Amino acid sequence: MSFVRNGLPAVVTLLIVLAFGMFGARLATVAGYLAVPSAVGLPYGLPGLRVVPLGETGWLLTLTESLAALVMVGVVGWLTARRRGGAVRAFFSGWGAFVLGAVVAGVLRAVVISQIVEAGPGAYAGFLLGAVTAGLLWGGVLGWTAGFAASVSAGAGTTVVRA
């Protein structure tokens, strides 16, 4: 069992969060409707792995984004490393791991944002509910990539014998 074969869904997830870190602001600019959740204080997409703050955001938000991105990659890697079964089961396992990783990362981001804006209990619950919803949506839309990587890595160790 090689690390690359077992870690392929995590590598794909890492590439996605790197892309969100580099091109996430451009994506929200080009597709303006993606910025609507940001208008109410929610993250506009998946967490982005960044080195420097974006625009006027501070270091706390940058570190939170990067930590959330790494947590997402870790969740996907951890949940897909011990999968059993065929390629179809691995596909849905990878997709589910990506969705769960997106939800966990969104909740982490929502907690930090709630603390920064000193949200009350109602707003705090709204931030959490919005983060879970956004994580489910983004995970559902992009989770197939990790699922595909999981199914490819599950099928890589099988041998097909044809008569």
How many residues make up the chain in this entry? 163
pLDDT, residue 75, reads 94
pLDDT, residue 1, reads 47
pLDDT, residue 85, reads 73
Nearest to 93 by CA among 102, 84, 103, 106: 84
Q: Is residue 72 situated within a structural domain?
A: yes
Give the number of domains in the chain: 1
Q: Is residue 81 situated within a structural domain?
A: yes
CA dist., res. 40 & res. 50, Å (int): 23
Q: Is residue 58 situated within a structural domain?
A: yes
The model carries a pTM of: 0.84
Q: Is residue 163 situated within a structural domain?
A: no
CA dist., res. 157 & res. 88, Å (int): 14
Q: Is residue 162 situated within a structural domain?
A: no
Largest CA distance in the chain: 68
Q: Is residue 64 situated within a structural domain?
A: yes
pLDDT, residue 117, reads 85
pLDDT, residue 119, reads 85
Q: Is residue 160 situated within a structural domain?
A: no
Q: Please spell the DSSP secondary structure of 86-114, one letter per residue.
A: -HHHHHHHHHHHHHHHHHHHHHHHHHHHH
- Residues of the chain with pLDDT below 70 are 1-6, 25, 28, 31-42, 83-84, 155-163
pLDDT, residue 88, reads 84
Q: Is residue 161 situated within a structural domain?
A: no
Which domain does 140 fall in, by range?
Answer: 3-155
